[in-house]
A and B are shown apart, each in its own frame.
Chain A
Amino acid sequence: MGVSERYSRGRQFVVEQPLALVVGLVVIWMAWFLVEGLVTGRLQVNNVLGYLWDGLLRGLIIGLAGIGLSMTYSILNFANFSHGDYITSGAFAGMAVSYLVAGFGEADIGSLLLVGAGGSVFGGALGVGIATSPIGIIAGMVVAAIATIALSLVIDRFVYKPIRDESGIALLITSVGVAFALRYLIVFVFGSRVRGTTAAGSQPQLRLVAVDGYLTINAHDVTLLVVAVGLMLGVHFLLQRTKLGKAMRAMSDNEDLARITGIPTEQVVRSTWIVGGGLTGVAGYMFVLWKGTVGFNDGWLLLLLIFAAVILGGIGSIYGAIAGGIVIGLTASMSVIWIPSEFGRAAAFLVMILILLFKPQGLFSGRTTA
């Protein structure tokens, strides 16, 4: 290849893909900044690994919650803005049970079931945690799933089913109403205070040596990793090995066609809410267990990141939701290397906006549902 040919090719690339060039330059700058920082000691290797680990776990939660959102988005054709409050509901329902199991006999049942509303009991004092009260955590997880499934089925029956055939925008607006009602009912019952939930100090920790320091991995990190990966594999097999996955794919493609080929569409919708709601509830519960605090706004604040993940991965694809969740989680956590920490979430939103503008079908487009 001659020099002039190479030059004209380069010029063609710059003219045709100016944005790709900008993105490429930004990526090169970021890589250089990271390497230079590590070499000169401005950044510590153990910190970078810490961000990576934190981002991965955050991403698993976002991905787990995103599966449900992605499924309802593709099968019912609307962006469910109440999804975040399903997460919060699951978190509170599960924590109520964990409090009850961990603190049974130590405090009155009302305070335990209200997750210590009004500062009556504290999760840390009760010893809520995987090592100190494993039965409480497992029971909490199961209840979080069941409660969220029940909630999403009830809401679907009374809110979404009567207007199933309306446009996606009408359903979206309705879901905003559901979000408001749910979120502030939670405030009414559980109070608006953000509180600590776990006895984080009494959980075992693993300190891995990482070049210039340590990477601390605690028992809740491991719990989250095991549960999230396990559930993701479970959904994968469920959708691959059963007819449900195929029916979902058919429905998200063309609902009328699915119905005339004999797919019981309402039943598929119900299964979608069951699978999605269960995963969402567990995600919410694991989120508050992992971060150690619970507040009524948790799910809502996570919702836009989940939308980012789902759009990044491609609406309807569960693998896309998982991959998108991990990318978004890593973006939100690792961006502190390059920009001030207040803009971690903003960086994740920016990634989402860029994807929407330049590849709105998402990275895993065409591989819907399974």
Chain B
Amino acid sequence: MSESSLRSRFESLLTGDPGLVIAVLGAIYLAYILAGIVFGFTVRGHMNSLANLTFYIAVFGMLALALNLHWGYTGMFNIGVVGFMGIGVYVTAIFSKPPAAQGGAAQVGGLGLPLGVGVVAGVLAAAVFGAIVALPALRLRADYLAIVTIAFSEIMRFTFMSSTFETFTVPDTFDLTILGTTLISFDPVADTVGFGGGSGLILNYASPLEAFLKFLFLWDPYLGLVDFVGEYAIQTNPKPVVDSLVYGLLLLVVVGIYYWLLTWTGESPFGRVLKAIREDEDVANALGKNTDVFKLKAFVLGCALMGFAGVLWYAGRGSITPPSFRPNITFFVWIALIIGGAGSNTGSVLGGAVFAALLYEGPRYIKNLIEAAIDVGDGPGSFGQAMAALGSFDPVPFLVYTLNSISQLRLVIMGVVLIYLMHNRPEGMLGHRKEVASSIDLSRPEGSVHEEPAATDGGEKE
């Protein structure tokens, strides 16, 4: 490969989609760091907020990418995202939690298998449930599919919450005896398994980061890194901060893998059929494609990716409880996808990043910044007290009440942003791009556009 072609490749990397993603991420991080410096964050506070930001950028990026496969590519209106995430992480927990006898008899145990096995099981379970939902439901109209999927995700949440599935006792030995002869006798490790009911499951296995790094034999170098940070940046207890930062960065790598996988899928013949289904399912059918099979495959793949994203989101959290799997998260992912633009993978990543940085974490970050800069006090406990003070021309209690309610108000902001987008820019930042359906690029090559056309007005140029 000649030097010039390498260079042009490098340039197209910076000017094309990856460059855009890098620029947006850079701007977000710069804004967060600068704001932190201005308002006087400690190094620890900085690293914590950046780790948090990275985590949410990554998980929303992944989920928006997976949803883009459903909605952006295939036109399947799935609003049961959180159900598939829940299945992924609950099944992972059941497979990987140590048996109750080891983890404390007070709580529900698990099968005690390695975390990797648990993750694979969780992703497969999400895929299987995706197929169960998709088999009958994909024939439905888009709005009916929406209602079926959200009902499904609520049924899953009731199941996680119910006392019926809270815990089951596993018998000490399984014996399969036929005609007096014991064919199989095995002793399962688990004593109790279940979803843990309303109090949820405590994820008392080794942290996912530790398991992953040990698997790659990188655990000792990693501990060295922690010591290094402890010596030069954060003297007291550096490990949790470094843990979350490194975990966030690893999740960004996973976003990259999702992006590559889905772009590759989208550009393959399979992906072209999906786009055809989105545009007009009847035509795709008439051209001899069995659209039901294509939709089923795309739905199952997307659900598996959602399940994996759910595992990555919650498996390192220490515990999971059913209220985490309310439909709100599904709508967050939808807002992220719509900000970025359905139909574009780059848009999905950007949408995830912008949503996480501005709408999801942004308001809380602003609250932290203000609280770090000035002491606002406790503020009024209710809207009535805040309004009473406002009535006597004292706006401070109202502002403090607003600040304290920021985690609720950000959902109001999200709602308003969603309405604004649907009114003014329903295609999102990058959405509904003309994606080339043929296998060779028919558009004008990138380089020739920049060449100045022959001047027609006597050769004068501005």
Contacts and interface: CB of A to CB of B under 8 A. Distances in A.
A188 interface: yes
A190 B401 CA distance: 13
A311 B419 contact: no
Interface string B140-162: 11111011101110110011011
Contact of B415 (A179, A304, A343, A357): A179
B35 interface: no
A181 interface: yes
Interface stretch (A1-9, A38-46, A166-174, A319-327): A166-174
Contacts of B418: 173-174, 176-177, 180
B384 interface: yes
A53 interface: no
A291 to B, nearest CB: 19
Given A163-B422, A349-B155, A118 B331 contact: no
Given A169-B77, A357-B136, A120 B384 contact: yes
Interface string B420-460: 00110010000000000000000000000000000000000
B144 A190 contact: no
A211 interface: no
Contact of A110 (B148, B331, B384, B426): B384
B150 A304 contact: yes
A188 B143 contact: no
Nearest to A110: B384
A113 B163 CA distance: 38
A190 B338 CA distance: 30
A19 B8 CA distance: 62
Contact of A79 (B143, B408, B422): B143
B132 to A, nearest CB: 11
B154 A117 contact: no
Q: Which of A173, A182, A189, A357 has the most CB of B within 10 A?
A: A173
Nearest to B391: A110
Interface string A292-312: 000000000000100110010
A189 B381 CA distance: 11
Interface residues on B, range: 35 or more
Interface string B382-401: 11110110000000000000
Contact of B147 (A79, A111, A166, A180): A79
B148 A353 contact: yes
Contacts of B385: 110, 118
A114 B382 contact: yes
B411 A183 contact: yes
Interface in A102-158: 110-111, 113-114, 117-118, 120
Chain A interface, >50% SS class: helix
Most-contacted residue by chain B among A162, A169, A178, A343 (CB, 10 A): A169
Contacts of A201: none
A360 interface: yes
A78 B77 CA distance: 14
A343 B408 contact: no
B423 A162 contact: yes
Contacts of A180: 331, 411-412, 414-415, 418
Nearest to A192: B408
Contacts of B143: 78-79, 168-169, 172
A189 B77 CA distance: 33
Interface in B356-374: none
B410 to A, nearest CB: 8
A295 to B, nearest CB: 14
A349 B419 contact: no
A178 B154 CA distance: 21
Residue among B148, B388, B417, B418 with max Cβ neighbours from chain A (10 Å): B418
Nearest to A174: B422
Contacts of A169: 77, 142-143
A33 interface: no
Contacts of A187: 405, 408
Given A111-B384, A118-B382, A120-B382, A170 B426 contact: yes
A340 B163 contact: yes
Contacts of A307: 147
Contact of A360 (B140, B151, B164): B140
A181 B154 contact: no
Contacts of B387: 110
A185 B384 CA distance: 14
B225 interface: no
Contact of A188 (B159, B405, B419): B405
A356 interface: yes
A163 B384 contact: no
Given A174-B422, A176-B331, A342-B158, 6 more contacts: A117-B382, A177-B415, A180-B331, A190-B383, A343-B162, A353-B137
27 contacts: A79-B147, A110-B384, A117-B384, A118-B382, A120-B382, A163-B422, A163-B423, A169-B142, A176-B415, A177-B418, A180-B414, A181-B411, A188-B412, A191-B383, A192-B408, A311-B147, A340-B162, A343-B158, A346-B154, A346-B155, A346-B158, A349-B151, A349-B155, A350-B155, A352-B151, A356-B147, A360-B141
Interface of B: 77, 136-137, 140-144, 146-148, 150-152, 154-155, 158-159, 161-164, 331, 334, 338, 381-385, 387-388, 405, 408-409, 411-412, 414-419, 422-423, 426
